[in-house]
């Protein structure tokens, strides 16, 4: 915990607040004290300023770590691919691990997605590895990177969340991207008319057209709700699980500062939760990948005639 006096609630709130950059109006305040004389773009220093920034604020920590981990992923896989192309010997070390991951993802795609689209397997691999790497940041001690950011910036109160998947903007951003691709492929494969029929003639359909006049509005409401629920549930499932895991790590960190009696217990709990969390971060990446493949398969499915 911070060297300054800080309550447990303040400690939790600080660790769960993003480094937010946005436009603040003149007269902006923190804890009731005015801190800006004129309108400007700046970092938020408190929760009140984050609220004042509104929708167009950017979470620099989530964006920064997500992009950095994406570049690390691209660099490692590109390096291994070049090495595999020039080396005819048996793979070792990192190359072995990456080839196992690729074979696992490729096998999963082949089991679920039976249509032809060369984008699906690379997309599934990217989703699985990228989400896994972002989730993996949750295993770092909760104070290390925030304290390092405070030292480098000279501001010990700077906000820094290091797990991008604990930010709903990141998880929902990924899920709505998948949703956009799902709509695109649905319309491309089935045609606009076929896509509209899918929304209006399911789940209820009658052979008589005048009966369908009454069923179409009901079908449209049910199918639209089901369609919109897909990206929302996909993003919120990942966010909820990772946010809960991060909260537990923060609560365990508080125990370290609660006295010598709780210090050994905190150490045991931290180790046990970290080991169990390895399964969670892997499972959440796998679930997101699996559902993405399923949604892409549904988008390409044109076997039914309406």
Beta bridge partners of 40: 24
Determine the angle formed by the axes of helices 263-300 and 209-256, rounding to 10 degrees: 160
For the chain, the first-to-last Cα distance in angstroms comes to 62
Do 16 and 34 touch, CB atoms closer than 8 A?
A: no
Q: Is 241 a catalytic residue?
A: yes
Q: How far apart are CA 284 and CA 132, in angstroms?
A: 8
Collect all residues with Cβ–Cβ distance below 8 Å to 161 and sequence separation of at least 6.
15, 16, 17, 18, 19, 59, 61, 62, 167
Which one of 2, 8, 212, 237 is the catalytic residue? 237
Catalytic residue among 62, 186, 219, 241: 241
Among the residues of 40-92, which ranges form H helices? 47-53, 60-86
Annotated catalytic residue, options 74, 96, 226, 233: 233
Residue 17 · residue 161 · CB < 8 Å: yes
| Residues present in the chain in total | 306
Q: Where are the alpha helices (DSSP H) in the chain?
A: 8-15, 47-53, 60-86, 93-112, 120-136, 144-153, 168-200, 209-256, 263-300
Residues ≥6 apart with Cβ < 8 Å to 302: 189, 190, 194
| C-beta separation of 200 from 220 below 8 A | yes
Residues classed as catalytic = 233, 237, 241
């Amino acid at each position: 915990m911070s060297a300054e006096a800080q309550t447990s609630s303040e400690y939790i709130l600080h660790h769960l607040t993003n480094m937010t950059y946005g436009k603040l109006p003149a007269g902006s305040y923190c804890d009731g004290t005015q801190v800006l004389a004129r309108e400007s773009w700046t970092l938020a220093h408190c929760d009140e300023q984050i609220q004042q920034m509104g929708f167009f604020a950017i979470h620099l920590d989530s964006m920064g770590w997500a992009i950095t981990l994406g570049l690390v992923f691209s660099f490692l896989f590109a390096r291994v691919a070049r090495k595999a192309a020039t080396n005819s010997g048996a793979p070792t070390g990192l190359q072995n691990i990456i080839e196992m991951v690729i074979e696992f993802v490729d096998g999963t795609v082949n089991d679920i997605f039976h249509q032809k689209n060369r984008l699906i397997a690379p997309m599934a691999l990217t989703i699985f590895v990228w989400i896994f790497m972002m989730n993996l940041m949750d295993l770092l001690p909760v104070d290390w990177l925030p304290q390092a950011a405070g030292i480098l910036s000279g501001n010990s109160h700077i906000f820094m969340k290091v797990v991008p998947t604990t930010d709903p903007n990141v998880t929902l951003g990924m899920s709505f991207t998948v949703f956009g691709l799902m709509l695109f492929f649905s319309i491309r494969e089935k045609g606009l008319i076929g896509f509209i029929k899918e929304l209006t003639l399911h789940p209820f359909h009658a052979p008589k057209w005048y009966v369908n006049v009454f069923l179409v509005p009901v079908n449209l409401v049910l199918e639209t709700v089901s369609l919109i629920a897909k990206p929302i549930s996909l993003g919120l499932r990942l966010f909820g699980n990772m946010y809960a895991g991060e909260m537990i790590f923060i609560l365990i960190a508080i125990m370290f500062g609660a006295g010598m009696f709780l210090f050994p217990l905190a150490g045991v709990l931290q180790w046990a939760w970290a080991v169990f969390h390895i399964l969670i971060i892997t499972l959440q990446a796998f679930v997101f990948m699996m559902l993405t493949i399923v949604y892409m398969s549904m988008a390409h499915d044109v076997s039914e005639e309406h």
